[in-house]
Amino acid sequence: MPAEAKADTNSARTDARPDSRAESRPDSRTDSRPESHPAARQPPRPLSYSTALPASPPLTERQEARRRRILHASAQLASRGGFDAVQMREVAESSQVALGTLYRYFPSKVHLLVATMQDQLEHMHGTLRKKPPSGDTAAERVAETLMRAFRALQREPHLADAMVRALTFADRSVSPEVDQVSRMTTVIILDAMGLDDPTPAQLSAVRVIEHTWHSALITWLSGRASIAQVKIDIETVCRLIDLTDPDDRH
């Protein structure tokens, strides 16, 4: 957990509730236009581990544009001041939506920042597919991919800190959003490996790699690990891929 995250845990959990004193949920009259809850979707289906995430009921063009504005405003505020700078009322004002509408899309700041991380990962995925990693082995390609993703977050340390804190604070109510972040990370790693149909052993290795990458982000953000140490840890854990390659078993 980042150095100051423990001190902020209580405040983060308070902020995560839409009816907290800091930002109370507005009366439904704030935006009385009927609109289905964009987050009220079917429970996540098991990931097929293709290069795309499971399909979700599509938003209307207007809803998608609104959601994009909200996520952009969240990222901009977090980039400038980290976790504490993301206040729901300011996000609503910056994205030009009513506060009540914002809460229908994202019930709390934690929901919003976890969704922001998923959005950032989707952008990274698009960039990585345009310029795939060049390593000779799957382990080398995954290590290169994760370090490229890490360096992208390194360029926005306040945003990275805010998103990682949100993941750390997330409770069961945020499980669908956290699952989407995990799925997107898995898809990025499997793409680098060149796999569409991984074995159980390979999926286990991917989970360990994900845990290590997340832990490396936390230790770097808290000042307890250098970039060089992060690189060594990522390269080391990616060697698990070689151990789970069915073609290399003796």
Task: Report the C-alpha gap between 18 and 117 in whole angstroms.
Answer: 20
Does the pLDDT of residue 52 top 90, yes or no?
A: no
Mean pLDDT across 215-221: 93
Does the pLDDT of residue 218 top 90, yes or no?
A: yes
Q: What is the mean pLDDT of the chain?
A: 81
Does the pLDDT of residue 2 top 90, yes or no?
A: no
| pLDDT level of residue 248 (50, 70, 90 thresholds) | low
**Is the distance from CB of 138 to CB of 90 less than 8 angstroms?**
no
Of 54, 57, 69, 70, nearest to 182 (Cα)?
54
Kindly state the tokens that stand for 60: 């209307």
Does the pLDDT of residue 145 top 90, yes or no?
A: yes
Mean pLDDT across 187-194: 95
Mean pLDDT across 51-74: 81
Of 65, 218, 70, nearest to 153 (Cα)?
218
pLDDT for position 250: 44
Least confident interval from 4-8, 51-55, 210-214: 4-8
Percent of the chain with pLDDT over 70: 76
pLDDT for position 16: 39
Does the pLDDT of residue 74 top 90, yes or no?
A: yes
Percent of the chain with pLDDT over 90: 69
More confident of the two residues 11 and 135: 135
pLDDT for position 11: 40
Q: In whole angstroms, how far apart are CA 175 and each of 43, 44, 51, 73, 167?
A: 10, 10, 22, 23, 10
pLDDT for position 246: 73
Q: What is the pLDDT of residues 96-137, one digit of tens each?
A: 999 999 999 999 999 999 999 999 999 999 999 999 999 899
pLDDT for position 183: 94
